[in-house]
């Protein structure tokens, strides 16, 4: 599944480059494809394009994005590996081998790791983003795990996941440095909790249940649980963006819920989005004195106490916003 990271987004397509802005990725099962749309708090309208036309996709089911290196990861049910595409270099490749049955995917940009659930085998696996050290992380007391998220809370790196089997329906979490301390934080009243979203800044977690067609909220430890919306369709994955919740619908489209007002709306009725699955949303927050260095640029203070971005190889500009050699004439 997807998780929220604050980063600037760089996107390339067959018509040129779009720099900056917040972005949404969605894996579409039918017809198969990965779609993206710019998004903002002021304008919630979604206009999807297909940013990865260089890669053949059969049935992309799970995806996640690492804004630290502008790389999208996904799993296609027709391939025994996890695919990746770098929007910074326009390169693509694969991670690992003999990877089958992935239902949800989470990338840990801090540790350069990927985590995923396999409900058919009731296990959670992991691999380094360079393809090394593929291991089974959890394979006991699981029942068809589905949703998965990774996030740092109060200095502790946690893994969250849901169980959707006939005997167990719950949401668990465990610190990654000691998985023996796993805890069932949400139990009862669940049928098929398919998507989890974490908002650490608010101290809240959200999940959608495609068996009960509800969206619920709780504290990050599962306390103070409450239903915040009954929804139409069958929600599958969910993300937090500013004051909004977005979710995909197995019957088609992208929906939005205003967390402050409770008002729901269908934000995309794109005829291509007939069966939407995994979802990712990345907001941008300026967090340095340079105004937000992009593309892994570093904000450095000079002896005169003037802050400026130091750009990595291949980028230039005040915020490292321009690819060396890029010509705006490529845009329509």
Per-position pLDDT tens, the chain of length 332: 543 322 333 333 332 234 457 889 999 988 899 999 888 888 888 888 887 777 888 999 999 999 878 899 999 998 999 999 988 788 999 998 899 999 999 999 889 999 999 999 999 999 999 999 999 999 999 999 999 999 999 999 999 999 999 999 999 999 999 999 999 999 999 999 999 999 999 999 999 999 999 999 999 999 999 999 999 889 999 999 999 999 999 888 999 999 989 999 998 878 888 889 999 998 544 445 665 676 667 777 665 667 788 887 877 887 776 767 644 444 33
Task: Please provide residue 192's backbone torsions phi and psi, each rounded to the nearest 5 degrees.
Answer: -150, 70
pTM over 0.75: yes
Collect all residues with Cβ–Cβ distance below 8 Å to 239 and sequence separation of at least 6: 2, 4, 24, 197, 245, 246, 247, 279, 280, 281
Distance from C-alpha of 20 to C-alpha of 38, rounded to nearest angstrom: 9
> What does the pLDDT read at residue 330?
40
Structure tokens at 2: 């997807």
CB contact set of 251 (below 8 Å; sequence gap of 6+): 233, 234, 275
pLDDT at 325: 60
Give how far Cα 297 sits from Cα of 11, 72, 190, Å. 16, 19, 44
Report the alpha-carbon distance of residue 298 to residue 201 in Å, rounded.
Answer: 24
Burial status of residue 225 (CB atoms within 10 A of its CB: 0-12, 13-18, 19 or more): middle
């Amino acid at each position: 599944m997807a998780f929220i990271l604050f980063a600037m987004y760089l996107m390339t397509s067959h018509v040129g480059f779009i720099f900056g802005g917040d972005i949404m990725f969605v894996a579409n099962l039918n017809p198969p494809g990965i779609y993206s749309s710019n998004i903002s708090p002021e304008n919630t309208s979604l206009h999807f394009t297909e940013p990865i036309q260089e890669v053949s996709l059969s049935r992309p089911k799970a995806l996640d994005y690492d804004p630290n290196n502008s790389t999208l990861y996904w799993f296609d049910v027709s391939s025994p590996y996890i695919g990746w595409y770098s929007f910074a270099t326009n390169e693509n490749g694969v991670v690992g081998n003999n990877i089958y049955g992935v239902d949800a995917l989470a990338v840990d940009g801090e540790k350069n790791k990927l985590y995923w659930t396999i409900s058919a085998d009731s296990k959670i696996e992991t691999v380094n983003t360079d393809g090394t050290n593929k291991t089974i992380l959890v394979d006991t007391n699981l029942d068809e795990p589905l949703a998965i998220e990774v996030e740092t809370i109060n200095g502790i790196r946690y893994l969250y996941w849901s169980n959707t089997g006939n005997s167990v329906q719950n949401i668990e979490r465990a610190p990654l440095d000691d998985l023996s301390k796993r805890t069932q934080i949400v139990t009862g009243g669940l049928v098929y909790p398919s998507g989890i979203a974490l908002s650490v800044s608010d101290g809240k977690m959200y999940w959608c249940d495609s068996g009960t067609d509800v969206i619920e909220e709780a504290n990050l430890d599962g306390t103070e649980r409450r239903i915040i919306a009954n929804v139409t369709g069958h929600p599958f994955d969910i993300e937090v963006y500013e004051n909004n919740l977005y979710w995909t619908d197995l019957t088609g489209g992208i929906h939005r819920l205003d967390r402050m007002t409770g008002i729901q709306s269908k934000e995309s009725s794109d005829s291509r989005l007939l069966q939407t699955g995994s979802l990712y949303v990345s907001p941008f927050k300026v967090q340095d004195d340079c105004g937000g260095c992009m593309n892994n640029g570093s904000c450095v203070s000079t002896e005169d106490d003037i802050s400026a971005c130091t750009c990595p190889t291949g980028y230039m500009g005040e915020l490292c916003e321009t690819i060396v050699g890029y010509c705006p004439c490529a845009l329509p």
